[in-house]
Amino acid sequence: RLKPFNRLQVILQHLKMRKHTDSAAEVLLEKKGGAGIITLNRPKVLNALTFSMIQQIYPQIKTWEQDPETFLIIIKGTGGKAFCAGGDIRAIADAGKAGDKMTQVFFRQEYTLNNAIGTCKKPYVALIDGITMGGGVGLSVHGHFRVATEKTVFAMPETAIGLFPDVGGGYFLPRLPGKIGYYLALTGFRLKGRDVLKAGIATHFVESQKLPDLEKDLIALKSPSKENIADLLNSYHVQSKIDQEKEFVLDEHMEKINSLFSADSMEEIVKKLKKDGSPFAIKQLETINKMSPTSLKLALRQLREGASMSLQDVFTMEYRLSQACMRGHDFYEGVRAVLVDKDQAPRWQPAALEEVSDEFVDDCFKPLGSNDLKL
């Protein structure tokens, strides 16, 4: 018979193994031909990104980056509904309420992974089929190629839950045409299908049902260069006829978006929207009024500063903001209202833009000393 201690060891070992297979199933990492393939595998929760998934994906990308036999990396989601609907926000909120270190570690590791994608030396192809929001944007937008389909729904809805458009939003959003990025960041507007390409977020558009063929063809490429991959993606892109004739959903509003969202402060944006008074402006006002005033102010400044920063500096700034949100009130209240009680009636503190002081905002951007994110 096993001694009690040994028996405990066996049980622990067994649990560890079981946990490993359970958590390994959240994300599948495999090599096919010259391609490393990452499959987000939590279809029931729209492939929401957990801490353990981040911990598995990051070292794998780094390994493939160094491997002479890996020529490209493909990332996709399972289940047909979502690429990745975001980070596991509820787990972070629970950790924050319990005073757990996870609120520091999660964001630190997530942004480190986002940066690894943004600096990856191997061509990185994200198949953003279905819902792609928040954390899912961080897994795709910084890579070389982003393939949207007619099922893609892209948004950065963070201001509605007391957060800000992170995962490098401060870098890519202000670099979109005109003020589209500011508009998306502050209102959480959802872009669908080909509009994700027209906004400058996706690089290609391919019909959803053609993705398995595209993937096969990518895997079959012999020692491909970035150019070979681009040529293959282009050949699929050119054949896709869905919604080809439709004009960009924001086209008719671009002039307004560019003028209304170019103001230096949230108060000024609101004033401009009120003064404009068009149905479009009134709709934006209604949306903005539902958002966390604190989040709106942080997001506007994040994008204005991020516009001239390197990707790494943006992540350092966003890490500071993430920790300010973890210390604050609105993130927990937003998660409660949207994800837990689902009453959609968050009680923000402060409740008005005017009450969010410049000093408070400045404070959120302050360096964290030895706790700063270093990339």
Q: Which residue is catalytic, options 26, 88, 158, 215? A: 158
102 and 51 in contact (C-beta within 8 Å)? yes
Looking from the CA of 362 toward its CB, the CA atoms found within 13 Å total 3
341 and 92 in contact (C-beta within 8 Å)? no
Q: Which residue is catalytic, options 86, 118, 130, 135? A: 135
135 and 167 in contact (C-beta within 8 Å)? yes
CA distance 166 to 138: 8
Phi and psi, residue 201, nearest 5°: -90, -50
Let me know if 166 is a catalytic residue. yes
Q: What is the CA radius of gyration of the chain?
A: 21
Query: Cα torsion for 287, 292, 293, 299, to the nearest 10°?
Result: -90
Q: Which residue is catalytic, options 26, 88, 129, 166? A: 166
Phi and psi, residue 41, nearest 5°: -130, 55
Q: What is each CA distance from 365 to 187, 206, 264, in whole angstroms?
A: 22, 40, 17
Let me know if 158 is a catalytic residue. yes
Burial (CB count <10 Å: 0-12, 13-18, 19+), residue 25: exposed
Q: Which residue is catalytic, options 34, 36, 87, 193? A: 87
Q: Which residues are catalytic?
A: 87, 135, 158, 166
